[in-house]
Amino acid sequence: MHPIHQCDEDYLPSMSASSPPIATQIAPTEDGLVVENLRVDYDNLTAVNGVSFHVPPGSLFGLVGPNGAGKTSIIRVLATLLQPTYGKVKAFGMDVLDDPWSVHPVLGYMPDLAPVIGNLKVFEFLEHFATSHGLYGAERKDRVQECLDHVGMASQRSVYCKTLSRGMMQRVVLAKTLLHQPKLLLLDEPASGMDPLARIDLRDTLLALARKGCVVILSSHILADLADMCTGVAIMHLGTLRYVGPLDGFIEEPGKPRAQRTVEIQTTPDTVEKATAWLEKSPLIASWAPMAQGKFAASFDGDDAEQATILRQLIETGGVQVLGFRRKSATLEDMLKTVTRS
């Protein structure tokens, strides 16, 4: 593994590395990916501080956070490209930090803006890397074709790489990453430059890999895509882990950051003005907006009890006839906003 030389993100001021912070406890497992108490320092700056999570096989797991949160540093550690200050990382029972060569056969890493060899045709580029994975002859040809089919680039197999669009290059690099059938996939901004249809194809490909038992780690700024694909997320901010778990567990988990809740309210036409007046002056409501005739979206900070209070006061104090009242789930964008302001 390579020593730490430089950083390309914004990081926290360094804290003493002599006493590691208490990490989240993780049940021992030989399966999937286990990261425990990970810390990465660049000279006097701390990029990642005390991060722990477990991703079981068959998972699509999103790393989320603003620039400088530490996502890229974590991916580089997982890819055996960066030695952390301390911590433990195991992939399918193999020690990523102490024995990186044992992990390489099951590891597929796709960095952001990965280069391609422009003067080679697409199939030549893939065959070049297939050979490095010990694939030859008919086996190599078949595997290259299979990967091209996976990423929807079979019709461009004889096109020169230098003529491809950014999105098509991303597809080719993904095909290269899949050549040796890795069990752990690390994808940094894989949808960058892809059009909407290509992103749908990417989602379908990654979901199919997860169904085969792979662990897929995604870092992306396209939050809607992550929300559609991921079975779990880790939300990073300033080098620390602010939430880890399923999307629908963000609001409910005690002691964790909580996004604002939003409820959709449907009233009778003759009580719209009363509803508007109550929403405008109620101290329980953080913000609200009309959605359609007699329908409103109202956000608040609170739990189930607070939600019940809003409904009761809306009816009893506001005099509103309520036809519908339902909670709207927090989006990944809501979650990110919550942890970055907490």
Which pLDDT belongs to residue 20? 33
User: Measured in whole angstroms, how far is the alpha carbon of residue 178 from the centre of its chain?
Assistant: 19
Q: Which residues of 150-175 are buried (b: 16+ CB within 10 A; e: fewer)?
A: bbbbeebbeebbeebeebbbbbbbbb
Give the whole-number percent of the chain exceeding pLDDT 70. Answer: 86
Cα–Cα dist 178/181, whole Å: 5
Answer yes or no: is 83 within a domain: yes
- pLDDT value at position 77? 96
Of 179, 211, 245, which closes a domain? 245
The side-by-side arrangement of strands in the sheet containing 295-300 is 287-292, 295-300, 261-267, 322-328
Taking the C-alpha atoms of residue 158 and residue 321, their distance in angstroms, rounded to an integer, is 66
Residues 271, 200 share a domain: no
Evaluate whether residue 6 is within a structural domain.
Answer: no
Q: What is the mean pLDDT of residues 260-268?
A: 86
Identify the residue whose tokens are 């990490």.
Answer: 23
For residue 255, being part of any structural domain is answered with no
Question: The pTM is what?
Answer: 0.71
Shared-domain flag, residues 143 and 241: yes
pLDDT value of residue 260? 65
Q: Is residue 300 part of a domain?
A: yes
CATH code of the domain covering residue 97: 3.40.50.300
Residue 196, pLDDT score = 83
Distance, in Å, from the CA atom of 89 to the CA atom of 117, rounded to the nearest integer, reads: 32
333 three-class SS = helix
Place of tokens 């030989």: 30
Whether residue 103 sits in one domain with residue 128: yes
Closest CA to 25 of 14, 36, 10, 12: 36
Q: Express each pLDDT in 23-46 by its tens digit.
A: 233 333 458 999 999 999 998 899
Same-domain status, 274 and 310? yes
Q: 107-110 and 184-188: which strand pairing?
A: parallel
Domain co-membership, 152 together with 299 = no
Q: Does residue 31 form part of some domain?
A: yes
Instruction: Answer yes or no: do 168 and 274 share one domain.
Output: no
Q: Are 256 and 240 in contact (CB under 8 A)?
A: no
Helix, strand, coil percentages (3-state) for the chain, rounded to 5, are 35, 25, 40
CB 3 within 8 A of CB 76: no
The CA-to-CA distance between both ends of the chain, in Å, stands at: 35
Both 167 and 63 in a single domain?
yes
Q: What pLDDT does residue 30 have?
A: 56
Return the CATH number at 301: 3.30.70.100
Better-predicted residue by pLDDT, 166 or 184: 184
Split at pLDDT 50, 70, 90, the class of 247 is confident
Q: Can you read off the two tokens belonging to residue 231? A: 């079975």
Residue 58 has pLDDT above 60, yes or no: yes
Alpha carbon distance 229, 135 (integer Å): 31
Instruction: Evaluate if residue 18 carries a pLDDT over 50.
Output: no
CA distance 14 to 155: 51
Convert the pLDDT of each residue in 186-202 to its tens digit: 999 888 888 888 888 88
Residue written as token pair 């006493």: 19
**In this structure, what DSSP letter does residue 217 have?**
E
Domain of 335 in residue numbering reads as 261-341
- Assess whether 30 and 102 both reside in one domain: yes
What is the per-residue pLDDT across 70-117, written as a single tens digit (0 to 9) for each? 999 999 999 999 999 999 999 999 999 999 999 999 999 998 877 888
* pLDDT attached to residue 193: 81
Amino acid making up residue 216: V
Report the run of H or E that residue 191 belongs to, with start and end: none
Q: Are residues 33 and 152 in the same domain?
A: yes
Confidence of residue 226 (pLDDT cuts 50, 70, 90): confident
The chain-wide mean pLDDT, for the chain, equals 84
pLDDT digits 0-9 by tens, 108-158 = 999 887 788 889 999 999 999 999 999 999 999 999 999 999 898 999 999
In a domain, residue 256? The reply is: no
Q: What is the pLDDT of residues 282-298, one digit of tens each?
A: 999 988 989 888 899 89
Mean pLDDT of 226-255: 77
Better-predicted residue by pLDDT, 136 or 340: 136
Q: Is the pLDDT of residue 204 over 80?
A: yes
The domain total for the chain is 2
